[in-house]
Amino acid sequence: MSNLKFTRRALVAAAAATLSLGTPVLAGGHQVVDSIHFLIPGGAGGGWDGTARGTGEALTKSGLVGSASYENMSGGGGGKAIGYLIENADSQHGTMMVNSTPIVIRSLTGVFPHNFRDLTLVSGTIGDYAALVVGKDSPLNSMADLIAAYDANPGDTAIGGGSVPGGMDHLVAAMVMEAAGKDALGVKYVAYDAGGKAMAALLSGEIKALSTGFSEAVALAQAGEVKILGVTSDARVDAFADAPTMKEQGIDTNFVNWRGFFAAPGLPADTLAAYQDAIAKMYDTPEWEAVRARNGWVNIHNPGDDFKSFLEAQEKVIGDLMRKLGFL
């Protein structure tokens, strides 16, 4: 009988270990979380993908997290992954989903029925400026060139992005053009479901310019694939100081897209605390600084209730702006 009890206890312990994704590690060392599965609501090559993989890289290389895995689930402007996380909440306690400003924009426009209040808010993590880029062989070399091309033939000067119409990439393009004195609603915007697809369209000539995150623009520029026409920061960013700001080109606009992490509704409090602890400690590691600097990100740490307050404030600001621009 005692042997049966031992066997059953061993089985229970083994099962618990198997199901311990995302739970705190009690062993020695500074590891905080056993493993994290990152859910990415878009395809490979986009900003969400880079943020999840970069964060996972820093967490695992620093030893704060034992291991990380990644799953791309594109569709519905990010709504497919959000719905999946909500519908399968009980089995997703080991998962963190990356998201950003579009979760606010797309809930406002009704792209999907959910909003950030339907999820567990883990932490805002970084900010990323936006940029407009053109292909390396494009005759356009500045925002003045892009504006001149638009003035000459608005219909032939399409700007693409990896978000739905009325989404963040569209909103940024409209903000920039409006700040340049043009009709924001007259901008021809072509939407793609992922940043990689939008990039392919730029290189094929299907679109004249691409609205994207600055970190993605830097990676593409360093690979020799694009030229950065302008970035929506107040001053040039050290990660790629050759990129001119919109403001220095006479276009008075500033925009930063936050990126952060969410978990399934009903996430146990101890698991949430472990995730937040790992992210908080990550900022002080050289592994994170290497990832952050490489991508040109800005640290924006908003855990828990601070994240909620930040999102509620942004929801109001973006809602007002979208109504002004005619998107709502």
How many domains does the structure of the chain reveal? 2
Q: What is the arithmetic mean of pLDDT over 73-98?
A: 96
Could you tell me what percent of the chain has a pLDDT over 70?
A: 91
| Same domain, yes or no: 234 and 136 | yes
Tokens linked to 20: 């311990």
Assess if residue 17 is contained within a domain: no
pLDDT of 318 reads 83
What are the backbone dihedrals phi and psi of residue 193, each rounded to the nearest 5 degrees, phi first?
-80, -15
Domain that holds residue 252: 129-256
pLDDT greater than 80 at residue 147: yes
| Same domain, yes or no: 106 and 154 | no
pLDDT band (50, 70, 90) for residue 326 = confident
Here the CATH number for the domain that contains residue 94 is 3.40.190.150
Distances (CA, A) of 67 to 16, 48, 247, 264, 310: 17, 19, 42, 20, 30
Assess if residue 22 is contained within a domain: no
| CA distance linking residue 69 with residue 202, whole number of Å | 30
Q: What is the arithmetic mean of pLDDT over 106-130?
A: 93
Q: What is the arithmetic mean of pLDDT over 65-93?
A: 96
| Same domain, yes or no: 290 and 305 | yes
Domain boundary at 256, 275, 294, which? 256
pLDDT of 15 reads 37
Whole-model pTM: value is 0.68
pLDDT of 229 reads 98
Assess if residue 174 is contained within a domain: yes
| Same domain, yes or no: 113 and 232 | no
Assess if residue 3 is contained within a domain: no
Q: What is the arithmetic mean of pLDDT over 309-321?
A: 87
| Same domain, yes or no: 238 and 298 | no
| Same domain, yes or no: 121 and 133 | no
pLDDT of 316 reads 87
Tokens linked to 135: 């292909």
Assess if residue 18 is contained within a domain: no
Assess if residue 104 is contained within a domain: yes
Assess if residue 13 is contained within a domain: no
| Same domain, yes or no: 184 and 264 | no
| Same domain, yes or no: 162 and 247 | yes
Please, is 49 exposed, middle or buried when counting C-beta atoms within 10 Å of its C-beta (0-12, 13-18, 19+)? buried
pLDDT of 27 reads 36
Q: What is the arithmetic mean of pLDDT over 279-294?
A: 95
pLDDT greater than 70 at residue 8: no
Average pLDDT, the chain: 87
Q: What is the arithmetic mean of pLDDT over 228-241?
A: 91
Here the CATH number for the domain that contains residue 142 is 3.40.190.10
Could you tell me what percent of the chain has a pLDDT over 90?
A: 63
pLDDT of 194 reads 66
Domain boundary at 219, 239, 256, which? 256
| Same domain, yes or no: 302 and 163 | no
Per-residue pLDDT tens digits for 42-58: 999 888 999 999 999 99
pLDDT of 13 reads 35
pLDDT of 14 reads 36
| CA distance linking residue 328 with residue 323, whole number of Å | 5
Q: What is the arithmetic mean of pLDDT over 102-123?
A: 93
| Same domain, yes or no: 186 and 234 | yes
Per-residue pLDDT tens digits for 175-230: 899 899 998 888 899 998 766 788 888 888 889 999 998 988 998 999 999 999 99
| Same domain, yes or no: 142 and 242 | yes
Domain boundary at 209, 226, 256, which? 256
| Same domain, yes or no: 64 and 150 | no
188: closest CA among 145, 165, 212, 155? 155
pLDDT of 168 reads 81
Assess if residue 302 is contained within a domain: yes
